[in-house]
Amino acid sequence: MQGKAAPPPGPPGPYPACSYQPGAPFASYPPPSGQSVLTRPMIGGPPSHTPPQSASPGPRPPPAQATPPPAVSSSSYYTNPQQPPAWQYNTAPPPMGAPTSISTPPRGPAPPHVNPTSSSTGSSSPAYSHAAPPPHASHGVTQPPGPGMQRTPLHGYPPPGSAPPSMTPMATHAYQPNRAPYGPPPTGPLPPLNPAPPPMGPPMAHATPHPPRAEDTGPQAPGGSNHVDNRTGGPPQPGPHGRPLGGHYPSLPPGYQNAAPPPAAMQPYSQAPQPYQQPLGGPGPAQLSPSLAAMSLQSRTPEALRVVNLLQERNLLPPSPTPPPTPCLQQDLQKINCNPEVFRSTLTSIPQTQSLLNKAKMPLGLLLHPFKDLSQLPVVTSSTIVRCRSCRTYINPFVSFLDQRRWKCNLCYRVNDVPEEFMYNPVSRSYGEPHKRPEVQNATIEFIAPSEYMLRPPQPAVYLFILDVSHNAVETGYLSVFCQSLLDNINALPGDSRTKIGFVTFDSTIHFYNLQEGLSQPQMLIVSDIDDIFLPTPDSLLVNLNECKELVQDLLKSLPTLFQKTMETQSALGSALQAAYKLLLPTGGRMSVFQTQLPNLGVGALQSREDPNQRASAKDIQHLSPATDFYKKLALDCSGQQVAVDLFLLSSQYCDLASLGCISRYSAGSVYYYPSYHHQHNPAQVECFQKDLKRYLTRKIGFEAVMRIRCSKGMSIHTFHGNFFVRSTDLLSLPNVNPDAGFAVQMSIEENLDDMQIVSFQAALLYTSSKGERRIRVHTLCLPVVNSLSDIFAGADVQAITGLLACMAVDRSATASLSDARDAMTNAAIDSLTSYRQSVLSIQQPGLLAPACLRLFPLFILALLKQKAFRTGTSTRLDERLFAMCQLKYQPLVYSMLMIHPALYRVDDLSDEGALNINERTVPQPHVLQLSVEKLSREAAFLMDAGTVMYLWVGRSCHPGFLTQVLGVPSYAAVPDNLYVLPELDTAESQRTRAFIGWLRDQRPFFPPLHVIRDESQLKPTFMQNMIEDRTESALSYYEFLLHLQQQISK
């Protein structure tokens, strides 16, 4: 914030008295009764954007030039009339010129789905108005999944006097671990329920799904991408989105909630929705009445558009979690819409035109968690996977059945035939009701792919571990923790009888381990020529785990002592990675790298670029980009061979994560960072490392995966965020996919959507399971199209907008500068509130006005500016800053929001009032407090959940009962300095506190360590830095930030 216009002076103390009174709940806007049915005409013609959006497979026109950024208005964040670094959210980026020299990952074992000949390294670049990043800059890393703050509901409440939509469970379709997936029709005779019996053999010749083309099945088809989403002119299609959930998400961590309580009758997503009964020839989603689009929210003011004066209403934080906004769809459509935990949009109402979207000054994008662990997942086995013949969309709940034999695609509107096999319903065992099939009843579904979806046998699960054994590594003690953890979980590694495993250790030389069956003990083979690395015995370094398990266990028991007395201080990481790449070349697999220092020998050697004196600089932060392209090039080579690289960095020294992180970023891997890791001096991090390792080793994994996102005709995708490699315009290569990875995409509207009432997005993820099955997981999301700014604002999802802006800011930091990214985030708040004031408010009032749905937007922007990734003026290690950026790009939204805006609770007075009862355990539900010191009290104790870490702050005069009954100490002075585990005491207070912390931890897949801190603790400054609403030496308070926004808006 330095160097900008000084904010107008304001009262230094607390806000004026709060005038906010929660209003009566309002509904998501149901369509007026008696709406007419209008059949949508067929739409054809190719769109004008790069991602294939057309239903016709003809040649695509070149990408449209991005529109120039708007002229600087008087509300510019800058004090001088220069072009502000605001994002031009929703238009395609300008051409980037010649691609980088890294053209294509070398082709090796042909993946069963990707066409190496069509690979390109250029990913779509972010659509910023200037300083567009080079290819791949759209990739990023997100943090390990954890609980995320629940989203503020915008307009998901029923109007007064109306009943909430029913959410009766759909029995039969839920995934049950112990039963077989839906299979093909039975071969025995069936009762004659309909004219024809179910097919007994292969699909009939006239069935719609044509045999997969070469580009549909694999890499050897010239010009094809991947069979998941064949590029025959089909639009890239995004996936599912918001569905009305219950009062809270049982599986999400605490977050924010609206003042009005959610309807009690709505049930959580864990119960599948009632089957959608679409009458044949009836008004399917592709034939909705235009009244849906014409519904104006101006006839009454919904809660989402209630005007809030941010300078007067202080207590805006909802006391408990709430679901994201509910799209304004007909009830039968919304019941079957996609779970927002998997797929959500920044705007739940899509503008009709790009100009309308530009006027709203809000980003349009999708946030995905495609491989999320789901408690219920319908799995279908069928020899015929029904897809649109034109755009290759998978049949889904939002298509229209014109009659029993024809269906209309909801993305390109082509009419397709219903294949004979699809007439049989494996759930009801009836014939002649294709609209009741599981594929048409579930917005998220998984197919077990038939043999034509692969060109070679699916790869086995292959795990290769690369371990730093230099003196620095031995000193940290990580090796014994790793070996013991792998020993404990070796039988839980995902895989089958083909699973392979191998080990490479390195210091100044590379050590391989011969684990061939028949040996009495493992053999170490040392290669000292690191400049020309080779494999000493290629056939015995990766071995079958089941056949050689005893040798593997012997090696893990001996490794920690093998290098105990080493004095070797050098690290040849680059050569070790090259060796590992050669080892995995024939099969693909997962490479797990453990590194404890800066690589300083051989290829990929790095030098320290961090100046400790500049950590607290208020100026631009340097060295946020890689020092060398070695790790990026190697990652692209790995991606081409279906190898993903996961990096575990355990170091108190600078390791240049900006460079090393590329090895995971472009190979779809993950990054784990443990600063100051030491087995004796930092026991909290040891516990965190152990828990993370267990999750990492045992979680499900998908190999040789690709993901394609498709969207309705007229819309296009132009930028991706996450860890991946972009193989073609809309195809992401994911050598490994894990359930903790999130992705985001930015979108634009290329053609007016005037004749559409809804649009759909579909994400299709093709992967090989650890058991060797080819599977396709499909998510489909449906959203309404609107033509007024007030409707757009009413459907804004403030948390999704914040998450997408964070991804964009990470890219901007690397390609332009950190100050540029900070200014652009501030301008995002200024622009959207200016648009709301000028274009939506009918009566101008004094103050800083926002719609209720965006009332937390300035707070979240300020939280981003104070977040470790973007803050200035506060001492921040360069690697820690880079890791925070990685997490924002890679974490699913529900987890990254806690990193952005932590949750604060008072925990010394927990009670059973309003508590949840989970697995016979009572879990208290304290209110979320504002992040301000004024909410703290010396007589109390407070828990701060910051996503990846938790702090329990104990006041100096805390009640003695809490100290003795929860912490197990007689007095405040007796609280240990390094307490990180609460004692298990047989008291009600101890059980409540541990139950609440355990419940928070259970809602995320990674393990946040707990630090108990006092006023004298070294971690107290870190705790206080998360008090976002307070002023610091280098950053404005929340009230001062609001005054600054008001000053800029009123210019």
pLDDT along the chain (1051 residues), means of 10: 42 38 37 37 37 37 39 34 54 43 42 39 37 39 39 37 39 39 42 37 38 37 36 37 34 33 36 39 42 43 90 88 87 93 96 96 97 94 92 96 94 95 84 90 95 84 97 95 98 97 97 93 95 91 96 96 93 97 97 96 93 72 92 97 97 93 97 94 94 97 96 94 90 96 97 94 97 96 96 96 98 94 97 95 90 96 96 90 96 95 96 89 94 95 96 95 95 92 94 96 93 92 95 93 95 81
In this predicted structure, what is the pLDDT of residue 530? Answer: 93
- pLDDT at position 571: 95
Distance CA 122, CA 93 (A): 13
- Tell how strand 510-514 and strand 743-749 pair up: unpaired
Quote the strand ranges of 392-441, DSSP E.
400-403, 406-408, 415-417, 424-425, 430-431
HEC string of 286-310? HHCCCHHHHCCHHHCCCHHHCEEEC
* 667, 638 contact by CB (below 8 A): yes
In angstroms, the first-to-last Cα distance of the chain is: 19
Closest by alpha carbon to 596, among 557, 644, 563, 623?
A: 563
Task: Tell me how far apart the alpha carbons of residues 903 and 895 are, in angstroms, rounded to a whole number.
Answer: 12
Give, for 767, the enclosing helix (H) or strand (E): strand 758-769
Q: In the prediction, which pLDDT does 559 show?
A: 96
CB burial of 602-629 (b: ≥16 within 10 Å; e: otherwise) equals bbbbbeeebeeeeeebeeebebbebeee
Q: Which pLDDT score, from 0 to 100, does residue 87 have?
A: 66
| Residue 86, pLDDT score | 63
Would you state the pLDDT for residue 161? 38
Say what the pLDDT of residue 553 is: 97
Looking up tokens 């690697």, which residue turns up?
Answer: 879
Of 580, 574, 475, 468, residue with least CA distance to 531: 574
Strand 500-506 and strand 379-381: the pairing is unpaired
What is the model's pLDDT at position 602? Answer: 94
Q: Mutual orientation of helices 1038-1049 and 818-839 as an angle, nearest 10°?
A: 60
**In sequence order, which residues have a C-beta less than 8 Å from that of residue 180 and are 6 or more positions away?**
none
Looking at residue 805, its pLDDT comes to 98
Cβ proximity of 680 and 905 under 8 Å: no
Which pLDDT value is given to residue 618?
A: 64
The pLDDT score that the predictor gives to residue 442 is 96
Amino acid at 885: M
**Are the C-beta atoms of residues 965 and 990 closer than 8 Å to each other?**
yes
Q: Measured between alpha carbons, how far is 148 from 334 in angstroms, rounded to an integer? A: 23
CA gap 261, 157 in Å, rounded: 9
Nearest to 662 by CA among 628, 696, 693: 628
